[in-house]
Amino acid sequence: MTTWFTLLCGGACVVSALLIVRQQLPLHLRLFALGLQFGIWATVWSLYEPPEILPGPATGILHTPLATPAANHPIAPEAGKIPYPIGTLQSLSITGDGLTREALGSLPPVRLRPDRERSAPRWQLHWPHQLTLGDRLEVQISPQGTAPEQLTLSLLDPFGAQVDTAKLGPGPLRGGSVQLTDTPKLPGRWLYKLRIQQGGDQREEPVPVVVDSGATPRVLLWLSRASFETAALSRWLRQSGTEAQLITQLAPGVLRRVSINTQREFPQQPLQSAPPFDLLILDSQLWPQLSDTQKQHLQDFATRKSVLWLVDRNAPDSFLNYMGKAGMPLHRGQPQDLAGALAAPDEIPTLTLTGLQPEEPRTSDLLLGSTAENPIYWGRSTPSGSVGLVLFENSYRWITAGFTAEFARLWTDILRHQLAFAGKQPPVVIKSPLPKMEQRVTLCSPDFTAAPTVTAESDGDPLVAVSVQAEEPGHCLAYWPRGAGWHHLKGTESDFSFYVFAPGDWPWWQRDLAVSETAQMATARLGAGSETNSDLIPIPRQWIAALLMALLLLSWWRERALLR
């Protein structure tokens, strides 16, 4: 179409030029007429294809609507919402709630300036999506904003019975939190509901959870010295019924052994070629005291079972060198207090980070914590074993302050991933706290040697997989679920199920995720520098039409003058 229109305008311009040349007029009038006709036909062509000669703005604006209980949240900016190219904009101002990390990742690199004026309610949510039979389901809700009326929150079990309830508001919600609990009685995939009542309005939100029967692991807790932290951990192991042996290194070659929940005879050499343990919990200060043979057996054990290191703030350099050679390097920083770890209540004592933090973790690794920059746990799983690093201390203060359930949930989350190889949980990480239909859902696992099959429970049709981050040992795969509900992953060592939410589910949680992820991306995204020119944008068609009208009036005035 463009070629034919260009030829048409060019031909008309040539015919006009020939007619003007044949006129018996002075040379300067004919040159003026030729220029006028060329300008007219060039303007006609520009109406179809406006030239890009105007400088683009330094700051663009991307409007994102607010998430409300009656509106779906946007998944990406629609074409045409930004009326100019954004390839090299110096900054992009985002109004409304913002967008998720996946949607913002589809934009070109640009400095993001999120909207900071918000008063609508936002909810931070946390609940364990994988449970072992006997564990307690705890739904933690931390709202922000203002509630005009009192909110009544009720947790409904999969059969519709109300198992717990709480109230929030009216008035400011910032700083408050609510926890609703229940203990599933049967293994399986269960869909709890959270009923939210505000005045005469009522809605229900899904709370999916997978409960497996599991098996009690056998644990070796081997420490270089006793401490309040390890005493609390050993007490929790005893109360949970876990078969364990506690070994404390009193002196070189002098060990104190305590058996927990078992009469079984454990071997005198803990790190023999085939120790009868599923999980080894070791103190980083213990590493220099191990013999070369024990270190070799420990490396072999990590490939077949599970090793969890309690990293001390004064961890020796030899331990850091060992972890660097194992592919999990740590860098030293300053110890700091961390509040609100794993959506803990505000009144709970803070955890103390040891100051040792991951250095370039893999995408398939699991980082637990409130932020990715300061994780409290770093874990890496394979189909046959796992290695984990606990990067905090002082969790024993949670027990002394009366938060026994939160302490148990903290360590249960850690040990559940550590025991992935034993069938406690497949080593699969979902890179989205709220997977939604028709959006990209990224699954990561070192077990993905080939693309596993993901099917929806509703129709059973497999989803198309797109590989990402394939350069890592084990990699990530992206899927686009077509509908909401349970989805099953097959083709790995263990089956794995996850729930896909509808676009309108959890609007308050969607608001908080969009706001927080936009703010995080704003600190990381960099675009063009101040010295870089912005993209050129087309001339508006109304300007071209006004120019064409002026040229036609000038041509009419010229012809009228000649006729006189």
- Report residue 165's pLDDT band, with 50, 70 and 90 as the boundaries: very high
Instruction: Rank 197-201, 376-380, 415-419, 442-446 by mean pLDDT and report only the highest.
Output: 376-380
Let me know whether 526 and 544 are in one domain.
no
DSSP-based three-state secondary structure for 355: coil
Among 154, 188, 212, where does a domain finish?
A: 212
Let me know whether 333 and 400 are in one domain.
yes
Rounded to two decimals, the pTM is: 0.57
Let me know whether 546 and 530 are in one domain.
no
Among 212, 229, 244, where does a domain finish?
A: 212
Instruction: Give the residue from 363, 481, 368, 493 showing the smallest Cα distance to 427.
Output: 493
- pLDDT for 529 beyond 50: no
- Could you give the number of structural domains in the chain? 5
Contact (Cβ atoms closer than 8 angstroms) between residue 501 and residue 435 = yes
Let me know whether 287 and 405 are in one domain.
yes
Name every residue whose Cβ is closer than 8 Å to that of residue 444 and which is 6 or more positions away in sequence. Answer: 363, 364, 428, 429, 431, 469, 474, 475, 476, 477
CATH code assigned at 181: 2.60.40.1930
CATH code assigned at 450: 2.60.40.10
Q: Per-residue pLDDT tens for 79-95?
A: 334 555 555 566 666 76
Residue 428 lies in a domain: no
More confident call, 401 vs 423:
401
Residue 430 lies in a domain: no
Name every residue whose Cβ is closer than 8 Å to that of residue 463 and which is 6 or more positions away in sequence. Answer: 454, 455, 456, 479, 480, 481, 482, 487
Among 212, 234, 257, where does a domain finish?
A: 212
Let me know whether 178 and 225 are in one domain.
no
Q: Per-residue pLDDT tens for 475-492?
A: 788 899 989 999 998 765
Residue 505 lies in a domain: no
Name every residue whose Cβ is closer than 8 Å to that of residue 311 and which is 6 or more positions away in sequence. Answer: 284, 330, 354, 356, 389, 390, 391
Note down the domain range covering 472: 435-500
- Report residue 564's pLDDT band, with 50, 70 and 90 as the boundaries: low
Let me know whether 256 and 230 are in one domain.
yes
Let me know whether 200 and 333 are in one domain.
no
Give the sign of the dihedral formed by CA 359, CA 364, CA 370, CA 376. negative
Let me know whether 113 and 127 are in one domain.
no
Q: Per-residue pLDDT tens for 248-291?
A: 877 666 778 888 876 465 666 677 666 678 888 998 888 888 88
Residue 427 lies in a domain: no
Helix 541-563 to helix 27-48 angle, to the nearest 10 degrees?
A: 150
For residues 183 and 134, give the distance between their C-alpha atoms in angstroms, rounded to a whole number.
7
Let me know whether 237 and 341 are in one domain.
yes
Residue 429 lies in a domain: no
Range in 192-206, 294-308, 342-356 with the lowest mean pLDDT: 342-356
For residues 557 and 564, give the distance between their C-alpha atoms in angstroms, rounded to a whole number.
11
- Report residue 171's pLDDT band, with 50, 70 and 90 as the boundaries: low
39: which 2 tokens? Answer: 């300008």
Contact (Cβ atoms closer than 8 angstroms) between residue 193 and residue 505 = no
